[in-house]
Amino acid sequence: MSPDDRRYTKEHEWVMIEDAAAKSAVAGITDFAQDQLGDIVFFELPKVGDSLTHLGKMGEVESVKAVSDLFSPIDGVVTEINEKLLDHPELVNQDPFGEGWLIKATMTDISQLDGLMSASDYDAFTAGPQ
Amino acid sequence: MQQGGNRKTEKLLLERSVPGRVGAVLPDLDVPAQALPDKALLRDELPLPEVSEPEVVQYFTGLSQLNFSIDTHFYPLGSCTMKYNPKINDEVAFQPGFAGIHPLQPIEQSQGALELLHKLQGFLSEITGLPAVGLSTLAGAHGELCGMLMIRAHHLANGDAGRTKVGIPDSAHGTNPASAAMAGFEVVELASDKDGNVDLEALHEIAGPDLAGVMITLPSTLGLFDTNIVEVCRIVHEAGGLVYGDGANMNALLGRVKLGDLGFDVAHLNLHKTFSTPHGGGGPGAGPVCTTSRLAPYLAAPIVTQNGEGYELSTPEKSIGKLSGFHGNFGVLVRAYVYIRTLGGAGIKSISGNAVLNANYMMNALRGVYLLPYDRTCMHEAVFSADWQKDRGASGLEIAKRLLDYGFHAPTMYFPLIVHEALMIEPTESETKETIDSFIQALIDIDREVTENTELVNNAPHTTPVARLDEARAARQPNLRWQPEAAD
């Protein structure tokens, strides 16, 4: 079960509001995504200050199986990246919803989350045929 | 794999070194001694191994016997066409006139070599139905880059600078998007429909004034012939785009289907797959580019042209330039020429017949044991999913590892990406029915083991010198160079 304190995209990213007043959010990839990717060996993340576009490419993830694009779940500007992942990408395999977060950002409009999937919708989505 | 001895504990050559031991005796000095260069340029503490000649021979022979190769094993590595490479190819390529030739030798001394290249261009043109051929590109992806640069040059020459997008199906070879991007295009992924063909609706959506072209792998990495291919080419051409063909899977089509007849504008062949020249371990390869008369002026230089009685190297009129130092991997081109000449027209046609027959025989024998996500007549390879086995506790990776214990090379795994737990199996045209039967039986046995003894499968391989290497750590913290133990 995915945690229900955040929202999800079809591209298997999650996003959670950290501070609604400051429009700040944290984002990562889901447990389903890390399980499909297998052991992750490298992340290419955006830089602090980069603009993000909803479902626009924001980086890459390389696992022992394949290289895949990372898509931003939101519109906004990057305020912080998870530097730990540069040396320890396995954190995302171990704890994708916690220690393995990818980026923090200031959202353009936090109501954008209303258009994303809830945890139960996302779990139903990943249970269906891919 | 079949050798005895505990190779896990075998030492590297450097670790066998004994101070003062030598493997060669130099003759007495019979020329005047020369002063050594400045001491600062010389290092005298290099950790070179001090070993005897027999130790060196035993060491490297031992390593060579650990090879898992097409000369020792069945090698059904999907999409790689690991078929038998006839030894006559090497025999001819080793002839002094071919092996000893220098690329800078005067053209009048190289007429025989150029004649061979010219004839090879002609054979590849006949095989693809595309009139112009360049041989200088050194690998499949190199050919792709060449073809995409030609498409770009063509559009620019027509004042069509706005054609920036290239559509690539999700069942294409993984190098295609990289080649298009390197040539300066924006890549748009094209979905496959439920039959594994290019989704025509998705194609219509991108078929506009900004479409430079599409890159189609035929047969696709699903091992399927796109039954809409003529329509795909028509839609792209109508929108003003061009069609690139990834011919890496041509062993499925040889002598039966010509890419030019289908509507392809430019395509590469992988001589190191389809035309039985050695590959694996990085080459050397050869990825000749075949194209229409319209795009011929853009081919990479040089191409071989006939001039009266003789042959010469020439640069096409609007060539995109040189993509390799000279005229390609000559030894590989000789081998491919020999392969074609040895087989002749009828033999070439029987390659595709046997490749497709072998793959379908295997696919039908394993239907119901392993899931077939796209269950229709395949071409030279079949893509299974290990989803049924994963539900019982062993994934595709484990099945691939267990195959090593049965004496088979593993198939390609987890590719194409649109198939879960993909096992992509290409038996190739050069294997006997008996070999394919024993491989089929191994996969049936492993399926039973997944139920009866999951641990046996999940801990495989049990018979190889090393078993479960830490792939993730190797990628995260690569240790690329041997280093001596710290001296102090």
pLDDT string in tens for chain B (488-residue length) = 444 444 545 788 888 999 999 988 889 999 999 888 887 788 777 778 999 999 999 999 988 888 888 999 999 999 999 999 999 999 999 999 999 999 999 999 999 999 999 999 999 999 999 999 999 999 999 999 999 999 999 999 999 999 999 999 999 998 999 999 999 999 999 999 999 999 999 999 999 999 999 999 999 999 999 999 999 999 999 999 999 999 999 999 999 999 999 999 999 999 999 999 988 765 689 999 999 999 999 999 999 999 999 999 999 999 999 999 898 999 999 999 999 999 999 999 999 999 999 999 999 999 999 999 999 999 999 999 999 999 999 999 999 999 999 999 999 999 898 899 999 999 999 999 999 999 999 999 999 999 999 999 999 999 998 888 888 888 888 888 877 666 54
Give the pLDDT score at B396: 95
Q: Are strands A7-8 and A13-19 parallel, antiparallel or unpaired?
A: antiparallel
Residue-wise over B71-94: b if at least 16 C-beta within 10 A, else e? eebbbbbbbbbbbebeeebeebbe
User: Tokens 């490419």 sit at which residue?
Assistant: A57
Q: Which of residues 443-472 of B touch A (CB under 8 A)?
A: 471-472
Domain span at residue A89?
7-109
Distance in angstroms (rounded) separating the CA atoms of residues B341 and B344: 5
Start-to-end CA distance of chain B, whole Å, equals 38
Nearest Cα residue in chain B from A129: B420
Specify the CATH number for the domain of residue A38: 2.40.50.100
B251 to A13, B144, B223, B352, B359: CA distances (angstroms):
40, 18, 11, 5, 12
Question: Which chain B residues touch A130 with a CB distance below 8 Å?
Answer: 420
Residue A127: inside a domain, yes or no?
no
Distance in angstroms (rounded) separating the CA atoms of residues B89 and B57: 27
Whether residues B314 and B437 share a domain: the answer is no
Residue A92: inside a domain, yes or no?
yes
Residue B409: inside a domain, yes or no?
yes
What is the count of structural domains for chain B?
2
Q: Is the CB of A57 inside 8 Å of chain B's CB atoms?
A: no
Give the pLDDT score at B283: 67
Give how far B76 is from chain A: nearest CA, Å. 19
Residue B78: inside a domain, yes or no?
no
> B272 burial class (0-12, 13-18, 19+ CB within 10 angstroms)?
buried
Residue A97: inside a domain, yes or no?
yes
Give the pLDDT score at B9: 52
Distance in angstroms (rounded) separating the CA atoms of residues B107 and B114: 8
> DSSP label at B26?
P
Specify the CATH number for the domain of residue B419: 3.90.1150.10
Nearest Cα residue in chain A from B478: A41
Residue A121: inside a domain, yes or no?
no
Instruction: Show the beta-strand stretches assigned E in B4-53.
Output: none
Query: Where a domain ends, among B342, B376, B399?
Result: B342
DSSP string of B308-362?
TTEEEEE--TT---BSSSSSS-HHHHHHHHHHHHHHHHHHHHHHHHHHHHHHHHH
Give the pLDDT score at B5: 47
Residue B109: inside a domain, yes or no?
yes
Whether residues B370 and B297 share a domain: the answer is no
Complex ipTM over 0.90: no
**Radius of gyration, alpha carbons of chain B:** 26
Question: Which chain B residues touch A64 with a CB distance below 8 Å?
Answer: 471-472, 475
Give the pLDDT score at B4: 44
Query: Where a domain ends, among B342, B365, B394?
Result: B342
Distance in angstroms (rounded) separating the CA atoms of residues A16 and A12: 14
Q: Are strands A103-107 and A24-29 parallel, antiparallel or unpaired?
A: antiparallel
Question: Which chain A residues touch B471 with a CB distance below 8 Å?
Answer: 39, 64
Whether residues B382 and B453 share a domain: the answer is yes
Whether residues B250 and B317 share a domain: the answer is yes
Whether residues B278 and B404 share a domain: the answer is no
Distance in angstroms (rounded) separating the CA atoms of residues B292 and B250: 18
Give the pLDDT score at B282: 59
Residue B311: inside a domain, yes or no?
yes
Distance in angstroms (rounded) separating the CA atoms of residues B361 and B377: 10
Residue B268: inside a domain, yes or no?
yes
User: Tokens 């737990």 sit at which residue?
Assistant: B421
Question: Which chain A residues touch B413 with a CB distance below 8 Å?
Answer: 65
Whether residues B261 and B403 share a domain: the answer is no
Of B417, B471, B475, the CB nearest to A66: B417
Q: What angle do CA B125, B130, B134 make, to 5 degrees?
A: 60
Distance in angstroms (rounded) separating the CA atoms of residues B241 and B45: 61
Whether residues B295 and B401 share a domain: the answer is no
Give how far A33 is from chain B: nearest CA, Å. 13
Whether residues B431 and B467 share a domain: the answer is yes
Q: Is the CB of A37 inside 8 Å of chain B's CB atoms?
A: no
Whether residues B391 and B462 share a domain: the answer is yes
Check B472 against A65: CB less than 8 A apart: no
User: Tokens 């005298």 sit at which residue?
Assistant: B44
Q: Is the CB of B420 inside 8 Å of chain A's CB atoms?
A: yes
Whether residues B267 and B336 share a domain: the answer is yes
Domain span at residue B316?
88-342
Question: Which chain B residues touch A40 with a CB distance below 8 Å?
Answer: 472
Residue B479: inside a domain, yes or no?
no
Residue A125: inside a domain, yes or no?
no
Q: Hey, CA dihedral for A61, A63, B221, B348, is it positive or negative?
A: positive
**The token pair that represents A88 in the structure block:** 């320890």
Residue-wise over A8-37: b if at least 16 C-beta within 10 A, else e? bbebbbbbbbeeeeebbbbbbbbbbbbebb
Q: Hey, CA dihedral for B439, B444, B449, B450, is it positive or negative?
A: positive
Whether residues B118 and B252 share a domain: the answer is yes
Give the pLDDT score at B485: 67
Give how far B394 is from chain A: nearest CA, Å. 14
Nearest Cα residue in chain A from B417: A66
Residue B1: inside a domain, yes or no?
no
Whether residues B116 and B238 share a domain: the answer is yes
**The token pair that represents B291 in the structure block:** 């194209």
What is the count of structural domains for chain A?
1
**The token pair that represents A1 in the structure block:** 């079960």
Give the pLDDT score at B363: 98
- Which of B247, B249, B204 shows the shortest CA–CA distance to B228? B204
Query: Where a domain ends, among B342, B361, B381?
Result: B342
Residue A117: inside a domain, yes or no?
no
Specify the CATH number for the domain of residue B193: 3.40.640.10
Give the pLDDT score at A17: 96
Give the pLDDT score at A1: 85
Size of interface A-B (CB pairs under 8 A): 22
Name the packing angle between helices B111-128 and B330-366 (round to 10°).
Answer: 30
- Which of B42, B54, B46 shows the shortest CA–CA distance to B14? B46
